[in-house]
Structure 1
């Protein structure tokens, strides 16, 4: 009798273990399908992967700068062909530089990045040049905006001045942004702690929302796209060489 009872208990025990394993496997499969994290910190890991790092944020903002530089290139081509430039297009383009690049993007660099490199005594010569170029760029933008207030850019002196301003701006900012993307921004992780690095991203986002509300980057992507459309240079396919 005892043997029978023990046998039944062993059978029940084996049955319970089997059910436990099967139920555990089912939970694991369902959790994987639904994206439910079973381990602490899974959601935090997914959140971290979705967040944009400070260098990546600054680099994509350089994309807007680059698109305006392409617009400036087009203005130079128009001047070379003696085509009239609508002053409003000039104002719209320079306003993107003023509002997004100079008063937001460059201020982020000047307030959050440059002081940290200076404090760490790293890349200080580069930082000094970048700061000077920011100042020179704002002077050029002031003059471009001033020209844009005119009813038309008809005089030869105005066209010559605009040519010089656009050329100087492009000549300075192409190497400027390239040096930041390849030297300054990648070096940031080496001079700050992980906590400080992460908090910079929060600081960037906070200021963007203060200045532009939600989706500040997307707002200015749309603005530059509108200028490109008005100038007939929005279609990317037109830049593909025909070999």
Structure 2
């Protein structure tokens, strides 16, 4: 999500690099062939295709997935009687609150879900997703309360934490999968090419407003730091033995 430097050293927002018109977004809305053609044209000219609204939201889901991995590791430690890593858990729950609940989910609730409802598409699914956002916020609040400032453990309830983290994982794995495979593709079908492109600009501007020009990159690095602290950063350790 980083801006690209110009020859004079100033930064240019990623989506402004191409000078792409709504016709490029039209390829994304119309279907894969148009999008592929736009990508090929951009590649041949040495430019970069802007991140579309669904792609932006799906990248943010990647941050959520990595926090779910942290939650699984904390559950594992609770199950074997290890001390709860309160500081790492607190930082992880803060990422969920700041980046997922107060940013990502607000974008969905303000810009994605209303358009689907207006089009009469996936109305029941959207209702369930909103309810799950509310339940998730309740769980995050409890995790933050129980871990305090991340340095004290007087309020820690390992059993309660385990129950809340397990419920959060069980809800959000199908939640984000349904959005990625059903909700976000449907968004392409219910908005015009112009509006689709404008949503991408809105999403990026909101991210920069909240988190700065390197917001997404900084958030990924923060999650990576927590993973390293817990010893779950190396991807190869998750490969099954032959």
Coarse TM-score class (shorter-chain normalised): 0.7 to 0.9
User: Within the alignment, does 1:152 sit opposite 2:153 as a pair?
Assistant: yes
SS state at 2:213 partner? coil
- Segments of structure 2 that go 5 or more residues without pairing to the other structure are 1-17, 21-37
Aligned residue number for residue 10 of structure 2: none
1:215 Cα offset (Å): 1.5
**What is the distance in 1 between the residues matched to 2:214 and 2:48?**
19
**What is the distance in 1 between the residues matched to 2:99 and 2:155?**
29
Contact residue 147 and residue 155 of structure 2 kept, 8 A: no
Aligned residue number for residue 135 of structure 1: 134
Aligned residue number for residue 3 of structure 2: none
The higher radius of gyration belongs to 1
Structure 1 residues 237 and 128: alpha-carbon distance in aligned structure 2, compared to 1, 3 A threshold: same
**What is the distance in 1 between the residues matched to 2:47 and 2:114?**
26
RMSD after superposition: 1.8
How many residues are paired up?
200
Structure 1 residues 242 and 193: alpha-carbon distance in aligned structure 2, compared to 1, 3 A threshold: same
Q: Where in structure 2 are the equivalents of 1:72-221 lying within 5 Å?
A: 72-149=71-148, 151-152=152-153, 158-221=157-220
**What is the distance in 2 between the residues matched to 1:229 and 1:105?**
25
Higher fraction of helix: 1
Contact residue 94 and residue 145 of structure 1 kept, 8 A: yes
Aligned residue number for residue 34 of structure 2: none
Q: TM-score with structure 1 length normalisation?
A: 0.79
1:87 Cα offset (Å): 1.3
**What is the distance in 2 between the residues matched to 1:186 and 1:205?**
19
Q: Where in structure 2 are the equivalents of 1:39-54 lying within 5 Å?
A: 44=20, 46=42, 50-54=49-53
1:92 Cα offset (Å): 0.4
SS state at 1:117 partner? helix
SS state at 1:50 partner? coil
**What is the distance in 2 between the residues matched to 1:123 and 1:48?**
36
**What is the distance in 2 between the residues matched to 1:103 and 1:185?**
19
Q: TM-score with structure 2 length normalisation?
A: 0.79
Structure 1 residues 176 and 52: alpha-carbon distance in aligned structure 2, compared to 1, 3 A threshold: same
Structure 1 residues 92 and 225: alpha-carbon distance in aligned structure 2, compared to 1, 3 A threshold: same
Aligned residue number for residue 57 of structure 1: 56
1:154 Cα offset (Å): 8.3
Contact residue 52 and residue 200 of structure 2 kept, 8 A: yes
SS state at 1:152 partner? coil
1:153 Cα offset (Å): 6.3
Q: Render the CA deviation track for 1:151-208: whole Å, top value 9, x for unaligned.
A: 12687xx111001100110010000000000000011111000000000000001111
Contact residue 86 and residue 152 of structure 1 kept, 8 A: no
- Segments of structure 1 that go 5 or more residues without pairing to the other structure are 1-41
Aligned residue number for residue 226 of structure 1: 225
